[in-house]
């Protein structure tokens, strides 16, 4: 058992098989100290009976492995906006009269409050085992290249020695037209629908990543505390290409706000999401898609994040999108240019050194 304390729970409940499954799940749960555990999500994920899970979690709480927390959801959009212990709950609720996720004034009622648990203890495991098991939980296994893929890589180094990214990002005319259509729709009048307005830029980010070989994007992932606009899985780790820089997961936030310059708040949020969901040595990348260029102070923040936690946050905005979509610059080259800009603390404008521009 990864948590020997659970042996006592087996004696009390007799639910040996269920508790062994839960033991492994808790031990290899990504970002375990931040994840909120509820009977319903455990029952669904581990395919166990809800009533059995409820009893098991109650006993685990009583032996001190869990702390009890309260989850407050927005009455308008249903997203989690507060996770709190009992002592701070009322103060937090009284201060929360606006939801930054759906941008509406709110009044929190009793029916908007749920409870769950957070795990207090960390298992004593080898870091390599944690990474492998975490990837399994996320549905991501070690990449084994098949014969067809190996032949493709051989072709890459034959035909694209000078510009390897052209092998991985090579949009068709139909895909370019689709990108242009979405790009040109960003300024449509969405009236009061902030969801539709934000969804347009999310859709564009999704399409760009979906064109790239070996990359899988989705806009349907949320964590216990955050809705992530676009999560990107990278299946390749190829030296001398952007794939070696991106890490296994890229998190993307999208702000379709034509009249607003993104500031430090957006970078802080994205950094917080990434920093608590990666192992210490892993490099991780976050991307803020926006209409205007991020404030100058954001580069200093990004540099601090990189030096402190190996987290790289970059900004893709309208001028970059115009280069990629209308001027046909390689999307992967643009990403690499942005990443190296942070890693190497470059101050020379990219158009002057042309290191990553064709």
Domain boundary among 86, 119, 152: 119
Closest CA to 323 of 302, 294, 354: 354
CA atoms of 202 and 185, how far apart (whole Å): 12
Residue 108 shares a structural domain with residue 212: no
d(CA 189, CA 100): 21
Contact 196, 202 (CB under 8 A): no
Residue 147 sits in a domain whose CATH number is 3.40.1350.10
**How many CA atoms, within 13 angstroms, populate the side-chain half-sphere of residue 4?**
1
pLDDT value of position 175 = 94
What pLDDT, on a 0 to 100 scale, did the predictor assign at position 351?
A: 77
Query: Are residues 209 and 266 both part of a single domain?
Result: yes
- Identify whether 124 is part of a domain: no
208 with 201: CB under 8 angstroms? Answer: no
Same domain? 198 vs 152 = yes
> Which pLDDT score, from 0 to 100, does residue 190 have?
54
pLDDT of residue 268: 92
Q: Are residues 93 and 238 in the same domain?
A: no
Task: Examine the domain organization and report whether 14 and 74 are in the same domain.
Answer: yes
Note whether residue 263 is domain-resident: yes
How far apart are alpha carbons 255 and 61 in whole angstroms?
Answer: 40
In a domain, 126, yes or no: no
119, 134, 166: which is the final residue of a domain?
119
φ, ψ at 195 (rounded to 5°):
-65, -45
Q: Are residues 98 and 173 in the same domain?
A: no
Residue 265: inside a domain: yes
> CA-to-CA distance for 10 and 106, rounded, in angstroms?
43
Total structural domains within the chain: 2
Tens-digit pLDDT profile for the chain (358 aa)? 888 899 999 999 999 999 999 988 888 775 555 678 888 888 877 888 888 999 999 999 999 999 999 989 888 887 778 888 888 889 989 888 888 878 889 999 988 898 889 888 877 655 455 455 545 544 444 455 556 655 666 665 566 556 778 888 999 999 999 999 999 988 875 555 454 566 889 999 999 999 998 899 998 887 776 778 899 999 887 766 788 889 889 999 999 999 999 999 999 999 988 888 777 677 899 999 999 999 999 999 999 999 888 899 999 999 999 999 999 999 999 999 999 999 988 888 877 777 776 6
What per-residue confidence (pLDDT) applies to 140?
Answer: 46
**pLDDT attached to residue 61:** 93
Give domain status of residue 240, yes or no: yes
Do 346 and 251 share a structural domain? yes
Q: Are residues 190 and 338 in the same domain?
A: yes
Q: Which of 68, 85, 119 is the last residue of a domain?
A: 119
Burial of 311 (0-12, 13-18, 19+ CB in 10 A): buried
Looking at the fold, whether 158 and 114 belong to one and the same domain comes out as no
- The reply to whether 133 falls in a domain is no
Evaluate whether 76 touches 109 at the Cβ level (below 8 Å): no
Q: Which pLDDT belongs to residue 132?
A: 55
- The pLDDT of residue 250 is 94
**What global pTM score does this model have?**
0.57
Q: 178 and 319: one domain?
A: yes
- Give dist(CA 294, CA 299) in Å, integer: 8
Q: Give the model's pLDDT for residue 126.
A: 54
pLDDT of residue 136: 52
Q: Is there a domain that residue 235 lies in?
A: yes
Domain region containing 62 = 6-119
100: in domain: yes
One domain, residues 260 and 331: yes
Please give the Cα distance from 65 to 122 (Å, whole number): 10
One domain for residues 178 and 88: no
- What CATH number does residue 97 fall under? 1.10.10
DSSP state, 139? Answer: T
DSSP percent split of the chain into helix, strand, coil, nearest 5: 45, 15, 40
């Amino acid at each position: 058992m990864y948590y020997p304390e659970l042996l006592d729970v087996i004696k009390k409940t007799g639910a040996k098989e269920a508790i062994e499954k839960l033991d492994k799940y808790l031990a290899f749960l990504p970002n375990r100290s931040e994840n909120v555990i509820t009977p319903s999500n455990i029952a669904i994920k581990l395919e166990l009976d809800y009533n059995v899970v409820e009893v098991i979690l109650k006993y685990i709480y009583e032996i001190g492995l869990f702390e009890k927390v309260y989850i407050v959801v927005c009455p308008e959009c249903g997203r989690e906006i507060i996770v709190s212990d009992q002592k701070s709950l009322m103060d937090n609720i009284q201060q929360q009269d606006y939801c930054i996720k759906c941008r509406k004034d709110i009044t929190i009622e009793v029916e908007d409050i749920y409870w769950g648990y957070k795990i207090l203890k960390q298992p004593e495991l080898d870091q390599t085992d944690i990474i492998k098991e975490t990837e399994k939980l996320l549905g991501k296994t070690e990449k084994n290249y098949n014969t067809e893929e190996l032949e493709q890589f051989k072709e890459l180094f034959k035909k694209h020695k000078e510009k390897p990214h052209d092998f991985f990002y090579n949009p068709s005319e139909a895909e370019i037209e689709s990108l242009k259509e979405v790009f040109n729709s960003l300024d449509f009048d969405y009236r009061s629908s902030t969801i539709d307005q934000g969804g347009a830029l999310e859709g564009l980010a999704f399409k760009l990543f979906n064109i790239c070989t070996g990359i899988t994007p989705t806009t349907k992932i949320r964590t216990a505390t955050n809705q992530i606009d676009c999560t990107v899985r990278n299946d390749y780790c190829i030296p001398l290409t952007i794939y070696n820089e991106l890490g296994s997961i890229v998190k993307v936030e999208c702000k379709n706000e034509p009249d607003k310059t993104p500031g430090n708040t957006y970078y802080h949020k994205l950094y917080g999401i990434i920093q608590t969901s990666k192992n210490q040595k892993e490099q991780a990348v976050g991307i803020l898609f926006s209409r205007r260029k991020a404030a100058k102070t954001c580069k200093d923040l990004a540099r601090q994040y990189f030096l402190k936690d190996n987290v790289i946050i970059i900004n893709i905005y309208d001028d970059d999108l115009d280069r990629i979509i209308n001027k046909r610059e390689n999307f992967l080259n643009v990403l690499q240019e942005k990443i190296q800009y942070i890693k190497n603390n470059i101050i020379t404008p990219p158009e002057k050194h042309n290191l990553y521009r064709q």
